[in-house]
């Protein structure tokens, strides 16, 4: 129980910092869509940003988190800091060389496309932005490595606040550098934002290095990759890279499909593939509508689900290193339940409040009611998979903590093609279109979670989901359904009478949305406590220290 409290305490600390970063990120995204709307300029920026984001999640938060954190933590526990710094020096050198090779390869491909088949001016914007933003891949991956080190030595705040730096610098690009460089032309303004992304990457490193030094971390470069720890990580990293690559390939391919199958203004209305002519199924702004929805569901996912998973991995790894199977099982089970609790609460409210949330945050200036409807439809379907998104992060960390990097690979190889096939089929239905990506992601994530839990239990010979856990899940689902019905009733019969009397649009929208959110969250937590769910106490637990509550 002490380990679980430690995880929850660390998770709350990370969640507080993550909340700050998510709020600034939300402001950044609001300014982006207010400035550009659901246009090709914003589609192009979101497409180009996919590349550094992909490799941040692949190398920085994926493979390195899977193999570096357990190895680094075990080295600290058993061999001391000197050995841990040697592992860091060799890992840093290996990561830098790998990312530089990848950047050069992608730059060569982009230049080749530009030379042989550049397309029209709109397609050239995508190529130029992609080439410009590729160096951000290196800085963001090194930042992720440094953040992992800080987490291993128990310092969570500086790493969790690094996204705030990126968000603030990007906001400066939107409101100042973009207009200064591009005037009134959106396709020129967006390059100012891209330049600020590069500046932010360097600034994050400048800020993190002194923090690491104060924690006693010693830097260095070493290309002696025959070190047994590095060889162990390299051996494990290949299947993790493959597995994470397959998993992240789904999101990456979604962006490719949107870019290829979106009709661009003043461009041809039809295209052909393998001799078959077809009309573009997606309209301009499809990728941006998906991105808006993803940013919104990732807000609670980052604050609640990922914060819990980041805090849990070092604890899972320590218990696994000590071969404390009973303790490991207890912590994984408790973390899975807490993640599901948070996912059901936020997902249910996301389903019924998708449109008012999008309207409150984004429907201003160049973002109109039609854009709200498009983005809200995508967000609603992401809400159905929210519980699975939260739980999935815990399951992955549990596999990685016991050194099993192959099972997630096998699961990904099965479900990513299914996800892609579902998306490619559903986008052709007029009432679905870009919402297809949310539907397919929610379905396959749910199936992935079920299969992963079964395989994790077999792999560890433990019982993670028994009768007590299933009964708790039923209680959580009941609380979520009651909360959703109460919110629907409130918005139909009570809120209109209050909001109609308010003349200011923003205040009316805020009362409609935030009032319903407050009721839904409060009712869910209250029902959780009434039904005896300990997750409520873990989320809201406080204790007295020096006369204060915390």
Question: Over its length of 550 residues, how does the chain's per-residue pLDDT go in tens digits?
Answer: 455 556 667 667 777 787 888 889 999 999 999 999 999 899 999 999 988 888 777 765 666 666 787 888 888 878 888 888 888 888 888 888 888 998 999 999 988 988 877 667 777 888 898 999 999 999 998 998 898 888 787 777 888 889 999 999 999 999 999 999 988 889 899 999 999 999 999 999 999 999 999 988 887 777 776 778 778 787 777 776 766 666 677 778 888 888 888 888 777 778 777 678 888 899 989 999 999 999 999 889 988 888 888 788 888 988 998 899 999 999 999 999 999 999 999 999 999 999 999 999 999 989 999 999 999 999 999 999 999 999 999 998 999 899 887 888 788 888 888 998 999 999 999 999 999 999 999 999 999 999 999 999 999 999 999 899 999 999 999 999 999 999 998 888 777 766 666 666 788 888 889 989 999 999 999 999 999 999 998 877 633 333 333 3
Considering the domain architecture, whether residues 497 and 387 belong to the same structural domain is answered as no
Considering the domain boundaries, does residue 432 fall inside one?
yes
Q: Tokens for 476?
A: 């959580």
Considering the domain boundaries, does residue 274 fall inside one?
no
Considering the domain architecture, whether residues 353 and 496 belong to the same structural domain is answered as no
Considering the domain architecture, whether residues 416 and 480 belong to the same structural domain is answered as no
Considering the domain boundaries, does residue 550 fall inside one?
no
Asked if 149 and 212 count as a contact pair (C-beta separation under 8 A), the reply is yes
- The kind and range of the H/E element at 12 are helix 2-36
Residue of 63, 70, 132 lying closest to 95 (CA atoms)? 63
Considering the domain architecture, whether residues 150 and 296 belong to the same structural domain is answered as yes
Instruction: Tell me the pTM.
Output: 0.84
Considering the domain architecture, whether residues 407 and 503 belong to the same structural domain is answered as no
Considering the domain architecture, whether residues 482 and 456 belong to the same structural domain is answered as no
Q: What's the confidence (pLDDT) of residue 7?
A: 62
* Domain end position, chosen among 400, 435, 465: 465
Considering the domain boundaries, does residue 270 fall inside one?
no
Considering the domain architecture, whether residues 502 and 384 belong to the same structural domain is answered as no
Considering the domain boundaries, does residue 233 fall inside one?
yes
Which residue segment(s) compose the domain that 521 sits in?
469-541
Residue of 261, 132, 125 lying closest to 186 (CA atoms)? 125
Considering the domain boundaries, does residue 159 fall inside one?
yes
Considering the domain boundaries, does residue 350 fall inside one?
yes
Q: What's the confidence (pLDDT) of residue 549?
A: 33
* Domain end position, chosen among 465, 491, 524: 465
Q: What's the confidence (pLDDT) of residue 59?
A: 67
Which residues make Cβ contacts (< 8 Å) with residue 376, sequence separation at least 6? 293, 354, 355, 357, 358, 359
Count: domains in the chain: 2
Residue of 8, 311, 16, 328 lying closest to 150 (CA atoms)? 311
Considering the domain architecture, whether residues 482 and 453 belong to the same structural domain is answered as no
Q: What's the confidence (pLDDT) of residue 325?
A: 92
Considering the domain architecture, whether residues 375 and 513 belong to the same structural domain is answered as no
Q: What's the confidence (pLDDT) of residue 203?
A: 97
Considering the domain architecture, whether residues 310 and 203 belong to the same structural domain is answered as yes
Considering the domain architecture, whether residues 439 and 479 belong to the same structural domain is answered as no
* Domain end position, chosen among 465, 500, 531: 465
- The kind and range of the H/E element at 152 are helix 136-152
Distance CA 98, CA 104 (A): 10
Considering the domain architecture, whether residues 504 and 377 belong to the same structural domain is answered as no
- What percent helix, strand, coil does the chain show, rounded to 5? 80, 5, 15
Distance CA 499, CA 490 (A): 12
Considering the domain boundaries, does residue 6 fall inside one?
yes
Query: Residues 74, 80, 82, 84: what is their CA dihedral angle, to the nearest 10 degrees?
Result: 10
Q: What's the confidence (pLDDT) of residue 16?
A: 79
- The kind and range of the H/E element at 234 are helix 228-260
Q: What's the confidence (pLDDT) of residue 250?
A: 76
């Amino acid at each position: 129980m002490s380990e679980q409290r430690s995880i929850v305490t660390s998770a709350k600390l990370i969640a507080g910092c993550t909340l700050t970063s998510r709020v600034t990120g939300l402001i950044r995204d609001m300014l982006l869509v207010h400035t550009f709307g659901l246009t090709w300029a914003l589609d192009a920026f979101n497409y180009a940003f996919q590349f550094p984001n992909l490799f941040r999640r692949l190398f920085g938060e994926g493979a390195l988190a899977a193999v570096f954190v357990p190895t680094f933590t075990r080295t600290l526990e058993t061999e001391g800091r000197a050995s841990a710094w040697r592992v860091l020096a060799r890992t840093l050198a290996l990561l830098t060389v790998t990312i530089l090779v990848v950047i050069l390869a992608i730059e060569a491909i982009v230049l080749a496309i530009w030379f042989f088949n550049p397309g029209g001016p709109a397609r050239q914007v995508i190529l130029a932005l992609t080439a410009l933003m590729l160096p951000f891949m290196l800085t963001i991956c090194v930042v992720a490595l440094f953040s992992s080190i800080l987490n291993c030595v128990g310092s969570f705040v500086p790493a969790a606040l690094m996204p705030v730096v990126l968000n603030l610098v990007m906001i400066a690009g939107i409101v100042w550098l973009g207009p200064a460089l591009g005037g009134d032309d959106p396709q020129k303004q967006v390059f100012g934002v891209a330049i600020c992304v590069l500046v932010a990457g360097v600034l994050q490193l400048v800020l993190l290095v002194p923090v690491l030094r104060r924690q006693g971390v010693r830097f260095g470069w070493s290309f002696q990759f025959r070190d047994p720890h590095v060889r162990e990580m390299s051996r494990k990293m290949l299947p993790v890279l493959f597995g994470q690559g397959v998993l992240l390939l789904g999101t990456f391919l979604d962006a490719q499909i949107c870019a290829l199958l979106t009709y661009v203004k003043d461009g041809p209305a039809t295209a052909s593939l393998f001799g078959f002519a077809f009309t573009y199924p997606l309209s301009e702004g499809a990728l941006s509508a998906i991105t808006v929805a993803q940013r919104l569901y990732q807000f609670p996912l980052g604050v609640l689900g990922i914060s819990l998973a980041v805090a849990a991995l070092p604890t899972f790894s320590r218990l696994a290193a000590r071969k404390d199977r009973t303790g490991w099982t207890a912590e994984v089970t408790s973390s899975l339940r807490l993640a599901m609790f948070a996912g059901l609460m936020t997902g249910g409210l996301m389903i019924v409040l998708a449109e008012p949330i999008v309207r409150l945050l984004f429907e201003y200036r160049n973002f109109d009611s039609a854009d709200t409807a498009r983005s809200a439809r995508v967000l609603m379907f992401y809400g159905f998979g929210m519980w699975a998104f939260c739980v999935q992060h815990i399951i992955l960390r549990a596999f990685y903590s016991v050194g099993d990097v192959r099972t997630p690979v096998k699961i990904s190889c099965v479900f990513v093609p299914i996800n892609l096939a579902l998306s490619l089929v559903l986008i052709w239905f007029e009432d679905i279109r870009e919402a297809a990506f949310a539907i397919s992601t929610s379905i396959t994530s749910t199936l992935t979670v079920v299969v992963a839990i079964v395989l994790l239990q077999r792999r560890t010979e433990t019982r993670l989901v028994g009768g007590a856990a299933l009964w708790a899940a039923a209680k959580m689902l009941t609380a979520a359904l009651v909360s959703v019905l109460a919110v629907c009733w409130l918005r139909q019969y009570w809120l209109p009478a209050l909001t109609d009397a308010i003349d200011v649009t923003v205040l009316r929208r805020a009362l409609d949305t935030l009032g319903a959110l407050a009721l839904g969250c409060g009712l869910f937590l209250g029902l959780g406590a009434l039904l005896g769910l300990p997750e409520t106490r873990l989320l809201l637990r406080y204790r007295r220290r020096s006369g204060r509550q915390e």
